[in-house]
Amino acid sequence: MNCEGAKDRLLDYLNNELPAADRATLDAHLANCPDCRHELAETKQVWQLMATVPTPEPRPDMRTNFYAMLDTFAEAEAARPTRSWTSILDQIKSFWTPTLAARLAYSLLLVSLGVAAGYWLQQKQSPDVAYRQQIDTLSSQVQEMRQMMMLSMLENPSATERLRAVSYTKDISDVDGRVIDALLTTLNNDPNVNVRLVTLEALADLGHDSRVREGLIHALPQQDSPLVQVALADVMVKLQEKRSLKPLRQMLRQEGLNDLVKSKIEQTIRELS
């Protein structure tokens, strides 16, 4: 694999979407190529930066700016009627250095231009509806990016990165099944107890979701760390989840159960009964 091939695959690599063979080839290339390692680090940084992109909300001043921007855009277009989108895009493209970070920024720019163009086309029909639609599209794109990033970071070998990934769930407004599955898998399988505890906290905040509740009940007998066992028992009380009584009683029969955990579970059973 050459550098160009490697760089083309970095995003998929970070997303864990590469076939195992490609991944191994890329790993081998990265081990020997400081240039591509640097680009990988840069790409990761951009992903993390994207997490801080605020979800756009319609605000009066933003709306004014948006109209002003569209006016300027329309004027420029009227002045140069022969100018095509392609030539504008080519010009924009030439501003960016060909690093992956810039390519990502460029594709984000394309999204915004697409939104602006879509808005411009619909504006005459019904400005309010069109505006609302564009804002919704942008918001859901930002949400989708956060989810993708969070899911890929959960696979990171560094526990710090995984902790950060879990903390991102607070910024995701519509947590979907993929995120819930990933969090439950992390709670049950992550080798780091701190990551598991933070994940449990994030899941407890999502306790209004029935899938989360079911997952937490099933997670009870799977925990081997006393810290997580005690915290999970607390969550069951907080959620007043009576369906946890059965797995809690099963846990009491586990061999080698920590004494503190045992009395905690007995107390939990009393509180829920």
- Of the candidate spans 35-43, 86-94, 230-238, 258-266, the one that interacts with Zn ion by CB under 5 A turns out to be 35-43
Q: Is 81 helix (H, G, I), strand (E, B) or coil?
A: coil
The DSSP line for 99-126 is SHHHHHHHHHHHHHHHHHHHHHHHTTT-
Tell me: does residue 175 bind Zn ion (CB under 5 A). no
Q: How many angstroms separate the CA atoms of 140 and 80, rounded?
A: 34
State the amino acid at position 51 in one-letter form. A
Tell me: does residue 30 bind Zn ion (CB under 5 A). no
Applying CB under 5 A, among 10, 14, 33, 183 the residue interacting with Zn ion is 33
- Of the candidate spans 30-38, 45-53, 201-209, 238-246, the one that interacts with Zn ion by CB under 5 A turns out to be 30-38
Q: Which is nearer to Zn ion, 5 or 114 (CB)?
A: 5
In the complex, what is the shortest distance from the CB of residue 66 to Zn ion, in angstroms, rounded to a whole number?
41
Q: What is the Rg, in whole angstroms, of the alpha carbon atoms belonging to the chain?
A: 25
- Of the candidate spans 31-39, 77-85, 148-156, 226-234, the one that interacts with Zn ion by CB under 5 A turns out to be 31-39
Q: Which is nearer to Zn ion, 36 or 248 (CB)?
A: 36
State the amino acid at position 10 in one-letter form. L
CB 191 within 8 A of CB 183: no
Tell me: does residue 74 bind Zn ion (CB under 5 A). no
For 19, 105, 199, the CA distances from 205, given in Å and listed in that order, are 35, 33, 10
In the complex, what is the shortest distance from the CB of residue 6 to Zn ion, in angstroms, rounded to a whole number?
5
E strand spans, the chain: none
For 65, 81, 91, 217, the CA distances from 76, given in Å and listed in that order, are 16, 9, 15, 60
Q: How many angstroms separate the CA atoms of 203 and 197, rounded?
A: 10
Tell me: does residue 3 bind Zn ion (CB under 5 A). yes
Tell me: does residue 92 bind Zn ion (CB under 5 A). no
In the complex, what is the shortest distance from the CB of residue 10 to Zn ion, in angstroms, rounded to a whole number?
10
| Largest CA-CA distance found in the chain, in angstroms, rounded | 81
Number of residues that bind Zn ion (CB under 5 A): 4
Q: How many angstroms separate the CA atoms of 21 and 14, rounded?
A: 15
Tell me: does residue 10 bind Zn ion (CB under 5 A). no
Applying CB under 5 A, among 18, 26, 36, 51 the residue interacting with Zn ion is 36
Tell me: does residue 195 bind Zn ion (CB under 5 A). no
- Of the candidate spans 5-13, 92-100, 104-112, 140-148, the one that interacts with Zn ion by CB under 5 A turns out to be 5-13
In the complex, what is the shortest distance from the CB of residue 8 to Zn ion, in angstroms, rounded to a whole number?
11
Q: Which is nearer to Zn ion, 38 or 83 (CB)?
A: 38
Q: How many angstroms separate the CA atoms of 147 and 145, rounded?
A: 5
Contacts with Zn ion by CB under 5 A lie at 3, 6, 33, 36
